[in-house]
Copies of this chain bind each other. A is one copy, B any other.
Amino acid sequence: MKDFSFYAPTEVVFGKESEEMVADLVKKYGGTKVLVHYGGMSAKRSGLLDKVCGLLTEGGIEFVLLGGVVPNPRLSKVKEGIALCREKGLDFILAIGGGSVIDSSKAIAYGVPYEGDVWDFYLGKAEPQTCLPVASVLTIPAAGSEMSEASVITNEDGDIKLGYSNNISRPKFAIMNPVRTFTLPPYQTAAGVTDIMMHTMERYFNPDGDMTVTDVIAEALMRTMKECVFEVLKNPEDYRNRAQIMWAGSLAHNDVTGNRMNGDWATHQIEHELSAMFDVTHGAGLAVVWPSWARFVMKENLSRFVRFAVNVMGVENDYTDPEGTALRGIAAMERFYHAIGMPNSIHELIGRDITDEEIKEMARKCTRNNTITQGKFKVLCTEDIETIYRMAR
């Protein structure tokens, strides 16, 4: 059994009244001049941005607004944020939104005290020694960035999407009010649940598989998400089920369902190239990639896939045919994705056939020009990744 670590210091304030705490929490964690960082119109339209700004003002906290973060958040916006923080002498970053805004905020937090280019961290050329404190008012349950150490940024110069993880950027607090997720469209809701489940699956399909208590927690969380998503697609204002999804989004990425460092993460990496090239929704891309990844790698540890099929997907175990059971589990997941409105192929995802050249380019980028491999459950080289893209086309 591998040694592991667990570190989830983020203070979570969850529920209908949670937003009222924002000024107190910013002060508690040392913020005096705050960058309020957000995405597009929804934070304005919903009144959340005004509410948070009002509470900060009442609390006597200065702040500067920076909006315009887009899904698959861009490096240029990060640099704009870094410049703004320096110019105004800001000492705290409050993200209002989902993973894109929080990931951007972490990147800005790394960049402000660093003399070089913040992209260095994502390229693995440097390690930050310090960063500004980050916190969030979460509106989209999906990325789990509100409790995680991870940040994924797209460099528009070459469509390169890279992640960087460092415990120093774990958010100080996360305010989660499920009511704020009522207005999420069905596609975003389903993509969010796909991402949440995938964060658990990346950890579940690890090469070790001997932390029983972690595995059963992971299975319980995944089974619950499979139920809850249908309820909120039927009734978007179902507080109870929105709450399950919102909290599961954090648990799925704060290492309760498995240690990140011992997970697989190939599906995420393979998807990152899809969303970098076609600017698609990350969760939808994951739904396309995972079944092909699963069929390609399952023989590495068939019993793990049988267990997943039976314990998560509710497939009957044919003890005489483990491979058949595993395959039926993967097919059941594919049907689940379809049922919640996620695509089942790259064609469905991008609206046209993908070319061989595009597949080759993505596989090459995914392995940094054949210099690295991906995955731990099965180690994948450039050719393997090409095969998975072809299986998913």
Chain B contacts of A251 at CB under 8 A?
A: 213, 217, 256
Q: Please, which residue of chain B has its CB at the minimum distance from the CB of A174?
A: B6
**Nearest chain B CB to A141 CB, angstrom units:** 11
A228 an interface residue at 8 Å Cβ cutoff? Answer: yes
Interface residue stretch chosen among A219-227, A296-304, A365-373? A219-227
Interface residue stretch chosen among A109-117, A153-161, A242-250? A242-250
- Cα(A290)–Cα(B213), bound, Å: 24
Chain B contacts of A17 at CB under 8 A?
A: 3
Chain B contacts of A58 at CB under 8 A?
A: none
Chain B contacts of A243 at CB under 8 A?
A: 1, 211
Give the number of chain A interface residues (Cβ < 8 Å): 40
A8 an interface residue at 8 Å Cβ cutoff? Answer: yes
B210 touches A240 (CB 8 A): yes
Known: A216-B223, A244-B212, A247-B214. A6 touches B12 (CB 8 A): yes
B221 touches A217 (CB 8 A): yes
Taken residue by residue from 1 to 16, chain A's Cβ proximity to chain B (1 for < 8 Å, 0 otherwise) reads as 1111111110111111
- Cα(A13)–Cα(B219), bound, Å: 24
A387 an interface residue at 8 Å Cβ cutoff? Answer: no
Chain B contacts of A240 at CB under 8 A?
A: 1, 210, 212
A18 an interface residue at 8 Å Cβ cutoff? Answer: yes
**Nearest chain B CB to A245 CB, angstrom units:** 8
A239 an interface residue at 8 Å Cβ cutoff? Answer: yes
Known: A220-B216, A256-B251. A5 touches B11 (CB 8 A): yes
- Cα(A12)–Cα(B4), bound, Å: 8
A residues whose Cβ falls under 8 Å from a Cβ of B = 1-9, 11-18, 210-214, 216-217, 219-221, 223-225, 227-228, 239-240, 243-244, 247-248, 251, 256
A–B pairs, 14, beta carbons within 8 Å: A1-B15, A3-B14, A3-B17, A4-B14, A6-B14, A211-B243, A212-B240, A213-B224, A213-B228, A213-B248, A214-B247, A216-B221, A217-B221, A220-B220
